[in-house]
Amino acid sequence: MKAGGRNLLIDAGISLKEMIKRSEFAGIDLSQVSDCLITHEHVDHIKGVKGLAKHSSCEVWATEETLISLDEVERKQTLIPNEPITLGEAVVTPIRISHDAKSPVGYLIEDEKSRALVLTDTGKRPVNLDQYINNLDLVVLEANHNVRMLQTGPYPWSLKKRIMSVYGHLSNQDSGKILSDIVRQAPKTPYCFLAHLSEENNKPQIAVLDVATTLKEEGIIPGKDVSLQVANQYTPSKVICF
């Protein structure tokens, strides 16, 4: 994400080789990343951080507890949840979320032109989310599972319980409710990428359908009031400019 003259990357959960391949496909030079903002220490979010820090000269930002899991990573910087930092002309606020990690956060990224929210890996709506969701242009929002698919799916009960807990992941319906509130407070038509979809307990078309159903119940028309897309786990999404 380009903001305030900086090249920001949120998490690096795939190998460096795969990151280079995907960023080239999207026309982005990965060696120019200036700051990598880490949400939490689960492997699907930090796998490529060490490689990225060697490949570029980026600073790696995370909360103090998360940094413990990044011991071999160069150029680490500490974030405090809910305390904004300034990177170039951009203001970045780590937002405390609820997940079974040491000190997980989502991110609000603002510059003079636009505001973006990245919110994944949270079992419930962050308590102070309302103060961050006005005037958003872009949101990357977790739609992890369809509740029925999870309940009737192959996961062991302990894992199902973990995913549905307040330290787990947002369901498609949870995501639709949060997005409704975001759309109501957006001056223009915001873009929303549904992200972190479970391979076992969701499908892209089901996530869109579930979120769209909740939006419509709230009087919001997908496609008109919000541009709704799914972030694919294996291929880059289209590049959006504001």
Choice from 11, 121, 142, 210 touching Zn ion (CB under 5 A): 121
**Least Cβ distance, residue 114 to Zn ion (angstroms):** 25
Q: Can you say how many angstroms the Cα of residue 34 is from the centroid of all Cα atoms in its chain? A: 18
Residue number with CB closer to Zn ion (2 or 167): 167
Label the pairing between strands 59-63 and 76-79.
Answer: parallel
Contact between 116 and 49 under an 8 Å Cβ cutoff? The reply is no
Judged by CB under 5 A, the number of residues near Zn ion is 3
Residue 73: partners with Cβ closer than 8 Å, 6 or more residues away: 49, 50, 53, 60
**Least Cβ distance, residue 45 to Zn ion (angstroms):** 6
CA angle 125, 205, 190 (to 5 degrees): 55
Between CA 118 and CA 116 the distance in angstroms is 7
Taking CB under 5 A as the binding criterion, the range among 105-113, 115-123, 126-134, 148-156 that sits at the site for Zn ion is 115-123
Taking CB under 5 A as the binding criterion, the range among 42-50, 151-159, 160-168, 182-190 that sits at the site for Zn ion is 42-50
Taking CB under 5 A as the binding criterion, the range among 27-35, 40-48, 50-58, 151-159 that sits at the site for Zn ion is 40-48
Backbone angle region of 135, left / alpha / beta, with phi > 0 → left and psi within -120 to 50 → alpha: left
Q: Does 42 bind Zn ion (CB under 5 A)?
A: yes
Choice from 44, 64, 89, 130 touching Zn ion (CB under 5 A): 44
Cα dihedral 150→152→155→159 (10° resolution): 60
**Least Cβ distance, residue 189 to Zn ion (angstroms):** 28
Residue number with CB closer to Zn ion (14 or 91): 14
Tokens of 2: 């380009």
**Least Cβ distance, residue 183 to Zn ion (angstroms):** 25
Residue number with CB closer to Zn ion (110 or 121): 121
Contact between 193 and 140 under an 8 Å Cβ cutoff? The reply is yes
Burial of 40 (0-12, 13-18, 19+ CB in 10 A): buried
Q: Does 124 bind Zn ion (CB under 5 A)?
A: no
DSSP-derived letter for residue 210 is H
Residue number with CB closer to Zn ion (43 or 239): 43
Residues 172-231 that bind Zn ion (CB under 5 A): none
Residue number with CB closer to Zn ion (121 or 225): 121
| In the complex, residue closest to Zn ion by CB | 42
Taking CB under 5 A as the binding criterion, the range among 41-49, 139-147, 151-159, 182-190 that sits at the site for Zn ion is 41-49
Q: Which residues bind Zn ion (CB under 5 A)?
A: 42, 44, 121
